[in-house]
């Protein structure tokens, strides 16, 4: 089985940035299939454009633009690229960096398919930091990465200790139908719990209120669509369930700190 070193990925590398034990790699997937292999470092794969199928010993992930995977070090996996252009952004974490910041990956074993929109939004911010590439980029990336890893660890612990059944049902419901206009009563009826119970306990499991969570889902969805040149901002706003392009623009900037056109320019360059 092939063992890939730091900064080494199958495909054509557009850019590599080394930041004090963290390596950022922007790679185009050029091979139809990559057989079983593993990497010497733990790393994130974030699909910026296109599609890829990634499999490991337990699961197979069908990844579209916006998909985020985490692999602990030496986790074997393979890749299959469907026809078309596919591009991924990778973040590798060396053992030295993890020791320096005193963070252990022991609770994040194997491969993880990350669906939490808050974590994906952090990843997009890291990508934007990599485009800035100035004297503060290293500090910005490290800070965001520790936020990401800490939240992943909390999410993992919550899963271990078992959420109520309604939490998993609600997460599936919102991720599948986030653009629909749900009312509190409709959600409560669907879940079989009282509206007061839902309102009170939502932030306990999702770390924000329902409105904020749905807006994050919409913005996160828009980020993957912005990589498609043929889609206008108005089309994207409609597809993601925003009232109009202006509403989309306000929410996008509030969440990401930059406007949608600026983001599109960064991701397509």
Domain range holding 145? 2-160
Query: 66: which residues sit within 8 A by CB, 6+ positions away?
Result: 47, 120, 220, 221, 223, 224
Let me know how many helices (H) and strands (E) the chain has, helices first: 10, 11
**Of 129, 145, 160, which residue is a domain's last?**
160
For residues 258 and 147, membership in a common domain is answered with: no
pLDDT at residue 161 tops 70:
no
- Contacts of residue 188, defined as CB under 8 A and 6 or more positions apart, other chains included, come to 194, 195, 197, 198
For residues 83 and 98, state if they share a domain. yes
Of the listed ranges 8-12, 131-135, 139-143, 173-177, the one predicted with least confidence: 131-135
Rounded to two decimals, what is the model's pTM? 0.83
The pLDDT-based confidence of 159 (bands split at 50, 70, 90) is low
What's the mean pLDDT in 133-143?
Answer: 89
CATH number of the domain to which 155 belongs: 2.60.120.10
Greater confidence (53 vs 1) lies with: 53
pLDDT of residue 223: 85
């Amino acid at each position: 089985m092939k063992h890939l070193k730091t900064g080494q990925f199958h495909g054509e590398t557009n850019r590599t940035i080394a930041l004090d034990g963290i390596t950022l790699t922007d790679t185009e997937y050029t091979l139809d299939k990559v057989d079983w292999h593993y990497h010497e470092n733990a790393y994130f794969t974030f699909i910026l454009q296109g599609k890829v199928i990634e499999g490991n010993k337990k699961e197979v992930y069908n990844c579209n633009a916006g998909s985020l995977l985490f692999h602990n070090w030496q986790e074997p996996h393979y890749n299959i690229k469907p026809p078309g252009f596919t591009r991924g952004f990778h973040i590798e974490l060396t053992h030295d960096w993890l020791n320096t910041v005193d963070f252990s990956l022991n609770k994040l074993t194997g491969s993880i398919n990350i669906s939490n929109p808050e974590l994906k939004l952090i990843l997009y911010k890291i990508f934007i930091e990599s485009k800035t590439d100035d004297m503060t980029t290293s500090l910005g990336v490290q800070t965001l990465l520790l936020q990401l890893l800490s939240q992943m660890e909390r999410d993992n612990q919550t899963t271990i200790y078992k959420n109520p059944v309604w939490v998993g049902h609600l997460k599936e419901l919102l991720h599948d139908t986030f653009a629909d206009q749900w009312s509190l009563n409709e959600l409560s009826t669907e879940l079989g719990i009282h509206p007061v119970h839902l309102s009170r306990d939502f932030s306990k499991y999702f770390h924000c209120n329902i409105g904020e969570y749905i807006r994050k889902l919409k913005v996160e969805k828009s980020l993957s669509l912005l990589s498609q040149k043929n889609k206008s901002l108005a089309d994207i706003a409609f597809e993601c369930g925003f009232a109009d392009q202006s509403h989309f623009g306000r929410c996008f900037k509030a969440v990401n700190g930059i406007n949608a056109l600026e983001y599109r320019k960064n991701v397509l360059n």
